[in-house]
Structure 1
Amino acid sequence: MTADMPLMASLAEHRLHLGVHMYEVAEALGITVPTLSAWEHGRRSPRWPHVIAYGRRVDRRIVVRDGDTVLAEGLYLPAQLPILRGELGLSQSDVARRLGGSRGQVGNHERRAGHQLVTVERYVTVGLRLQLTHLAAA
């Protein structure tokens, strides 16, 4: 995944590289091909469990990295974001300023389950200045 390529586009590129058809991924995720297409082209944002399932389907782990160090990964990654924020010495207000939002919005995000990918990407890349990427499955 390049720094400017969204995660879903990167997963789609890897899917094509593997020769996996959209209908195979859509069927595995229990969604339609048009929904998958909308995700891959950035027209809609999947919920986090779908992102993880897509990654598994194409042998990729979804992780937050700082350089070569994996800080968080998988289905529970959104729940780990407040912990990472704290470890970096950032308050909710610090993240809110970086995101251009309010502390309340950051607090609401940190308490929600089933995050949308776009929210996690924005929080990670702008709020924490970390990289959301995928790695070959272990």
Structure 2
Amino acid sequence: MDDIDRKLISALRHDARASLSDLAIDLGVSRTTVRGRIERLRQRGDIVGFTVVLQDDAKSDPVRGLMMLGIEGRGTDRIVRQLTGLTAVRAIHSTNGRWDLILELGTDTLDYLDDVLTQIRRLDGIATSETNLLLSTRKSG
């Protein structure tokens, strides 16, 4: 993945419905290049899907948690790509210490959070995990 791919992904994260023409202008490349790169990123599994973010989604989630993951082997990049496609995953942090990744999760119900946790634990390469619910936030940002 080169600098143009990273800029393209950043632009798509900001507006996944941006036209190929607008993306091409922003990146300083042709529409054909943008189309080809999106298709290549999808085929390689770097882009696993597109989603809609509603105004309510951008507000604070009623159920929030931190999930710490221990990864076996060298599957971190693949696992991060898979996690990026999950709508309940709000942020992915790499870290030092006992855990390899820390995820910020947000859902509307405990049942949905439980489903997400189960889905993540089943990913190939996840060795261990620990999850903590966030009860309140005293300072953010």
- TM-score after normalising by structure 1: 0.28
Q: Which has the higher contact order (CA 8 A, sep 6+)?
A: 1
Instruction: Find the structure with the greater CA-based Rg.
Output: 2
Higher share of residues assigned helix: 1
